[in-house]
Chain A
Amino acid sequence: METLRILYTKDSYMRFLGHLELMKLFERVFRFNKLPLKFSEGFNPIPRLTFASPLSVGYSSKAEVMEVILNSEISIQQVKDIKFPNGIKVLDAQFINCKHSLMSKLEFAEYILKVEYDSKVEQLPFEEWVESFLNEKEIFYEKKTKRGTVKAVNALGQIHDMKLLYNADNEVVFRVMLQTGSNGSLNPEKLVDIFGSHYKLNQKAVNIDVERLGLYFTKNGTLTNLYELSEEE
């Protein structure tokens, strides 16, 4: 039994694939590329694929991580050569020996957020706002729990970093590092929302383009790409 870990992109039109559709696609592509898939036991044997963090429909990503269990090792080149639909590309692959699950170790995700407002925003002091925003101690927002109740969460506890990259016409571009994973996640669109209402923005965000740059965990105090996760962590 071998665990193959894959680093891949999901962009252009493929960003519109839902998570279940993406899983099905990987399974079928693996099947016809004759990967020696290990199936689960039982009534309805299914191959064992795990994805680090489902990406919302419409978000693109430069570096997603997934794992699949195989019965035996195959050449890494063969994995890299697998052809997916345009927009999904295998960037790297490795066999790993790591008992940790991707999901349990994941802590942060980095995003580029392109926000388009319904009117001009270039006159607004976004640079200063971002700075003062990060200096706030707490800004609470309401989040639905799995049980359907609502709880207050401090957004600032979930923002690791936030930078303004661009501000012209109707558009603002941020680069953010947000908490993601089993200990809680801040939805990037929610952040835009919180930020906007904190500074009482009259302009409405009409379109938010989200691109995920990477998934991270902390290793000896530094953020490290989840793809590098190993047994020692």
Chain B
Amino acid sequence: MNLEALLRNVEKPSRYIGGEINTFQKEITDNTIRFAFAFPDIYEVGMSHLGMQIIYRLLNEQDNVYCERVFAPWVDMEAELRANNLKLVTLETKTALGDLDILGFTLQYELSYTNILNMLNLAGIELLSKNRNEKDPLIVAGGPCVYNPEPLADFIDIFFIGEAEELLLEFIEVYKLYKDKKISKHDLLIKAANIEGLYVPKFYEPEYNEDGTMSGYKVTEDVPKVIKKRIIQDFDSGFQLESMIVPFADIVHDRAMVEIFRGCTKGCRFCQAGMIYRPVREKKPETIMDNVEKIMSSTGFEEMSLASLSTMDYSQIGPLVKDLVGKYEMDNIGVSLPSLRLDSFSVDVVKDIQKIKKTGLTFAPEAGTQRLRDVINKGVSEQNISDTFNSIFSLGWHRVKLYFMIGLPTETTEDLDGISEIANLGTYTFKQLKPEGVKKSVQVTVSTSCFVPKPFTPFQWMGQDDIPTFRQKIQHLRTKLINRKVVYNYHDPETSLLEGVFARGDRKIGAALLRAFELGCKFDGWHEYFRYDLWRTAFEETHLEMGFYNTRERAYDEYLPWDILDPGIHKSYLVSEYENALNAVVTGDCRDSCTGCGVNVQIIGGDCYGNA
């Protein structure tokens, strides 16, 4: 059976057909470097990812590069491929992945790692780096999870640390020499390792102490001792995304995405993105307006979203939103904001946008008490929360979603109770206001996720809560959140504990990953496919202990697997931030005054905003 016949047997075949508006069909010659952007989840998830859109256009605008796409096939498609002995192919030209030059995976979340192995396997490519040769494609990876690359170090040839735009093009230049057979694969890897921001794990051998902790890396070739992350210095004038692929299937974020700034200055201590994407770099409003115009007039999207880590913190967000709404309202194009701050300013901005649609708003207080919010440095006060409730309900909203984390450092029962107090404050405020014209009754949805400590955050040393502790906390909340107008959703702890293993794992756990894949684990981030029992077996069989990686507390002087990377933030800064956390001492927004994280010295070699 060929691909077309098999597409009849799967659900949503449009996931696999390609040919969407603004995709590329390029002439392929002997000199064409053939790259596939590989997303280890299904089409609907991968196509919602802005990074994919950026890399796709950036690479395809190069003459001698053809970038195609491939996503994890859903289980029905995988079964068809395997039953018919067909290989996993790209969407654009239906080329088997093994026939390409470079496969670039993006690591957005740890629970997609088995899908990477599964995709390689479906393409008939050897999983372990050391078993691949010059005939095989080079397997590279980027994305936020590369800030601890070690769990995947046995499988991936090169990791891209930091923002890839400039880095990829530099790498392509070197790859050309290899493609032209001027250098060997070994020389290619040596040259790559000497490009700032590229980590070639094969040249760095982990060394361990007797207790299983690491003592460091043995550098086996003439390559840098530490790998520094890369950033785009001039975000406003660098590569601009001016068009996007218009997806077919009903994807998760089915709208235009326009990036307005990178980085974040809030300094939330649990947030890895806030640490690794520093410093903040904004685009000028003119640049943004221009990007939007070009994207809208080549895609036909009916909605645009202003993307960033914390959109409300864009210095000119108010005027920008006004301008966009003013310009696009006539064409029935909506503006959406991905994240709202808990303050009246955010509500002011959003009320212009959602004039008609009162679909419900989402906020993230993250923790239930002021004390715990100070611990995590989430700059939200009780006043902010009650003001926000007041303004949204008087403006006519009656539904609100609140996100919290459980398992934060120093958390007590009082902090959990605080979550229910905030929810009750919401319903109470609504009843006090009795907003006119709102006939529906109030609904507050509380969602809790289980906290996963991440590398390069002040919490990178702490032990994660274990499963029974998380269960107890969830049970406690279930008995507390009994208000009939409050809905409580929670994430199961098992997935977070596994995420915790990979977030702070070392190279050894690659063996458990491989075993789990062999046992049939895939789509671990999908509730219906997550098999914690198989994962436990995989760890037992490879004589590894999950607890060593997730629930164990580390000492400050322990060498951590990701210490080989330098995201620009001083370890001493992270230590002092952890100490501050334990003492519930807050650290201000560094836009107002530099708090000395080190990015200015390490990465920019100058000031972050002239105040650093």
Contacts and interface: CB of A to CB of B under 8 A. Distances in A.
**Bind each other:** yes
Interface of A: 13-14, 16-18, 20-21, 24-25, 27-34, 39, 43-45, 57-58, 85-87, 207
Interface of B: 4-5, 7-8, 12-14, 16-21, 246, 248-250, 296-302, 331-332, 356-357
A67 B296 CA distance: 23
B14 A28 contact: no
A3 B515 CA distance: 61
Given A25-B246, A32-B298, A85-B19, 15 more contacts: A13-B18, A16-B7, A16-B17, A17-B14, A18-B12, A18-B14, A21-B14, A21-B249, A30-B300, A31-B331, A34-B297, A43-B356, A44-B356, A57-B13, A58-B8
Contacts of A87: 19
Contacts of A17: 14, 17, 248
Contacts of B16: 16
B13 A207 contact: no
A110 B301 CA distance: 35
A58 B300 contact: no
Given A13-B18, A57-B13, A44 B250 contact: no
Contact of B13 (A16, A28, A39, A86): A16
Of A13, A14, A33, the most chain B CB neighbours within 10 A belong to A13
B357 A43 contact: yes
Contacts of B8: 58, 207
A44 B300 contact: no
A13 B19 contact: yes
B300 A28 contact: yes
Nearest to B23: A85
B353 to A, nearest CB: 14
A29 B21 contact: yes
B250 A20 contact: yes
A53 B7 CA distance: 22
B332 A45 contact: yes
A32 B300 contact: yes
A21 B298 CA distance: 18
A20 B12 CA distance: 11
Contacts of B14: 16-18, 21
Contacts of B332: 39, 45
A29 B299 CA distance: 7
A121 B331 CA distance: 57
A25 B300 CA distance: 9
Nearest to A13: B17
Contacts of B21: 25, 28-29, 85
Contacts of A44: 356-357
A16 B302 CA distance: 23
